[in-house]
Amino acid sequence: MSARLEGKIALITGAAGAQGRAAAMTFAQHGAKVALADIDEARVNAVRDEVEAAGGEAFAIGVDVTSEDSVRRMVEASLAHFGKLNVLYNNAGINNGGSTEAERDVDVVRLPLEIWQRMLNVNLTGVFLCSKHAIPALISAGGGSVINISSTAGILGSLISGHTYSASKGGLNSLTRSMAAAYAKHKVRVNAICPGSLEPLMKFGIPRTPERQKMLEANYPIGRLGTPDDVVQLAVHLASDESSWTTGAIIPVDGGFTSTS
Ligand SMILES: NC(=O)c1ccc[n+]([C@@H]2O[C@H](COP(=O)([O-])OP(=O)(O)OC[C@H]3O[C@@H](n4cnc5c(N)ncnc54)[C@H](O)[C@@H]3O)[C@@H](O)[C@H]2O)c1
C-alpha cells in the first residue's frame, strides 16, 4: 500500500461505527497514525486492536462529542500520545432511529423537541466542539485538514432521514464553508463529504424489506448503494497533501443521487 498519509496523525470520531472503522483501517494502511474516539469505548478499543493487528499504529479513547470536557480530554490525550495532530475526521453522528412516525421525524408538527435537540447536539454541536479543540493543534502543526462527514440529506433534505437530520447536516455544510474561509490563512483546510445511503445503513425505524431495498437502489443512477470504502477513498485524498488547494468543498459521494430529479 502506498504511503499517501505517511507522517500524518488523524483523529477520527465515531471510530467504532461502520465508516469510522473503515477510515481507521484505510488511513493506517496509507501510513497515518490514528487516534480513535467513540462513545462506545469497548467497540473503539476493538477497532484499535484491529488496526494494530494489521500493522498500524492506533490509540483509542472514549468520548461524548456533545460534552466540551470530554472533547477537550480527547484532544489532550491524543496529543499526549502522538505529539501532534494533522487531521480531524468529524464522523460521529446519529440519525432518527425511532420506531414511531414522530420519532422518525417526518412530521415537524409532531416532532418532540427532545429529538430535535439530541440530534443537533451530536451531529452539529459535536463537530463545533471537536473543531474548537482540535483546530489549534492543527495550526500548531503548520496546517491540517478537517473532514466533516455530512450527508446528501444536508443538500436536498430527506423525508427518510427526517427534518432534524437534514437540518443538522445542512448546518454542518454551512459550518464547513465558514470554517474553511476562517482558517485558510492558517493552512487548515475544511471540507465535507456528503454520502448517500451506505451499506450497512444507519438504523432507521423503517423495516428493511426487499421492496424497500429496491426503492432505495432505484434512487442511485449508478445502480447500487454506497459502501464505507467509497467515502474513505475520498477522505484519504482530503487528508493528504494531494488536496492542498481544496477547501470549503461540499462533495457528494452518492452514485449520482443529487444530480438527478
Ligand atoms: N450510513 C449511511 O448511510 C450514512 C449516509 C450519509 C451520512 N452518514 C454519516 O456518516 C457518519 C458515520 O455513520 P455510520 O454510517 O458509520 O453509522 P454508525 O452508527 O455505524 O457510526 C456512528 C458512530 O458514532 C458514534 N457516536 C454516536 N454518538 C456519539 C457521541 N455523542 N459521541 C461520540 N461518538 C458518538 C456511535 O457510537 C457510532 O460508533 C455519521 O455522521 C452519519 O450521519 C451515514
Q: Exposed, middle or buried: residue 71 (CB in 10 Å: 0-12, 13-18, 19+)? A: buried
Q: What percent of the chain has pLDDT over 90?
A: 80
pLDDT at 101 over 80: no
221-252 as b/e: b if 16+ CB within 10 A: eeeebbbbebbbebbbbbbbeebeeebbebbb
Give domain limits for the chain.
9-252
Ligand 1 centre and the CA of 67: distance in Å?
17
Largest CA distance in the chain: 52
Ligand 1 centre and the CA of 16: distance in Å?
9
pTM: 0.96
89 flagged as catalytic: no
pLDDT confidence bin for 98, thresholds 50/70/90: low
User: Which tens digits make up the pLDDT trace of 111-139?
Assistant: 889 989 999 999 999 999 999 999 999 99
Q: Which residue(s) pair with 38 in the sheet? A: 62
Which residue from 94, 120, 129 has its CB within 8 A of the most atoms of ligand 1, so it is best to mutate? 94
Q: Is 71 in the pocket of ligand 1 (CB under 6 A)?
A: no
User: How do 33-38 and 250-253 pair as beta strands?
Assistant: unpaired
* Residue-level pLDDT at 210: 84
Cβ within 8 Å of residue 22, ≥6 positions away:
228, 229, 231, 232
Spatial distance between the Cα atoms of 66 and 123, rounded to a whole number of angstroms: 9
Spatial distance between the Cα atoms of 94 and 165, rounded to a whole number of angstroms: 8
- Mean of pLDDT values over 72-84: 98
Annotation: CATH topology of 9-252: Rossmann fold (3.40.50)
* Residue-level pLDDT at 202: 59
Q: Is 162 in the pocket of ligand 1 (CB under 6 A)?
A: no
Q: Which of 89, 165, 183, 220 is catalytic?
A: 165
Mean pLDDT rounded to a whole number for the chain: 93
Lowest mean per-residue pLDDT among 77-81, 110-114, 205-209? 205-209
What is the atom index within ligand 1 of the atom nearest the CA of 203?
Answer: 19
* Residue-level pLDDT at 47: 98
pLDDT confidence bin for 251, thresholds 50/70/90: very high
Spatial distance between the Cα atoms of 184 and 190, rounded to a whole number of angstroms: 8
- Mean of pLDDT values over 219-227: 92
pLDDT confidence bin for 141, thresholds 50/70/90: very high
